[in-house]
A = this chain, B = another copy of it.
Amino acid sequence: MQTPLNIAIVGATGSVGEALVEILEERAFPVGDLHLLASMESAGKAVAFRGKNVRVREVDSFDFKQVGLVFFAAGEAVSHTFAPRAIEAGCAVVDLAGALQAPAVVPEANAQAFLAGRKAVSPCSPAIALAVALAPLRGMLAMQQVTVTACLAVSSQGREGVAELARQTAELLNVRPLEPAFFDRQVAFNLLAQVGAPDALGHLTLEKRIAEQLRETLGLPLLSISTTCLQAPVFFGDSLALCIRTQGPVDITQVRAVLSVAPGLELVEEPGDYPTAVGDAVGQDVVYAGRLRPGLDDPCELNLWLVLDNVRKGAALNAVQIAELLIKDLT
């Protein structure tokens, strides 16, 4: 039994924050005192942990010296403001917003490279899925290009995204006029070609982040990555279609053998079957893979389909797994 560690979760009332509390309990993380923090609007709510209600407090007035480890799950601005305070107070920090200058970690891909650190970024959900699936292939394939279309669930935009898809769908089914609010247009029964605003060249922050975090977690700084992030009318679970091009011919049988025993990955191998976000990934801890196939015309190509729970392995679970690495040094 490890020495318990006092822990704070910033953004505790969001869906990822709640999943963090659940997963800490599920995995019997050695939590001493648990401090749940949020903005002024959410302070005062209570969240259950180990059979007791924990009151959510305002992050502004929190003294980070009370804890040894902090999860930041409240968006980039909050991480920017409060993560430096936590680090100054001596805390280990796991940032789920990707705002901190710290190593991006997906334990299945780069746990060993990270062992010495006291702060880490838990990557965005598509980067986590890709890292889990591609890390075991690094030794056998000289990967040159990865092209990925990531279809994101509305829950990647938090509770407002979920509520908006439900509201839009109900309005359309009841033939009422649609008034988009949280999304700027109809997302129900539609696909949006971007998630967030593009830069001057047309790239989304999330698309650039996927590429950077994937290169970093795989330790492949020269890997060329093309990403398109779509907003899909799906409540929970991200889905990714990817095409990998390699320097030499791909041995699909060997790839299948490697992926079928890869940590954190479940390869659906039955002919004609494949995993889906709703049918397989949601509520589960692993990344599901399927539709493993060679190129149509290119022997140096590999195609794959991935789905994962964007709130669990795509966010909260990966952050807790990082924390499990961190506390080896802390406790």
Contact = CB atoms under 8 A, between A and B. Distances in A.
Interface of A: 145, 147, 149, 151, 165-166, 169-170, 173, 185-186, 189-194, 197-198, 200-203, 207-208, 211, 224-228, 230, 232-235, 237, 239, 241, 243, 245, 271-272, 274-279, 290-298, 301, 303, 305
Contacts of A228: 149, 241, 243, 291, 303, 305
Contacts of A274: 192-194
A149 B193 CA distance: 12
Nearest to A186: B278
A277 B241 contact: no
B190 A295 contact: no
B278 A235 contact: no
Contacts of A294: 201-202
A293 B146 CA distance: 17
12 contacts: A145-B298, A149-B228, A189-B234, A191-B276, A193-B239, A193-B241, A198-B271, A198-B272, A201-B294, A224-B298, A226-B296, A230-B241
Given A198-B271, A293-B202, A276 B147 contact: no
A291 B292 CA distance: 28
A224 B297 contact: yes
Nearest to A245: B145
Contacts of A295: 224, 226
B203 A293 contact: yes
A149 B230 CA distance: 11
A22 to B, nearest CB: 22
A169 B165 CA distance: 12
Q: Which of A226, A227, A234 gathers most chain B CB within 10 Å? A: A226
Contacts of A194: 274, 291
Given A147-B243, A207-B296, 13 more contacts: A149-B149, A151-B191, A151-B230, A165-B189, A190-B276, A190-B277, A191-B239, A191-B276, A193-B276, A202-B292, A202-B303, A203-B293, A227-B296
Nearest to A149: B149
B239 A198 contact: no
A203 B296 contact: yes
A78 to B, nearest CB: 25
A110 to B, nearest CB: 20
A176 B270 CA distance: 29
A325 to B, nearest CB: 29
- Among A149, A189, A272, A296, max chain B CB count under 10 A is at A189
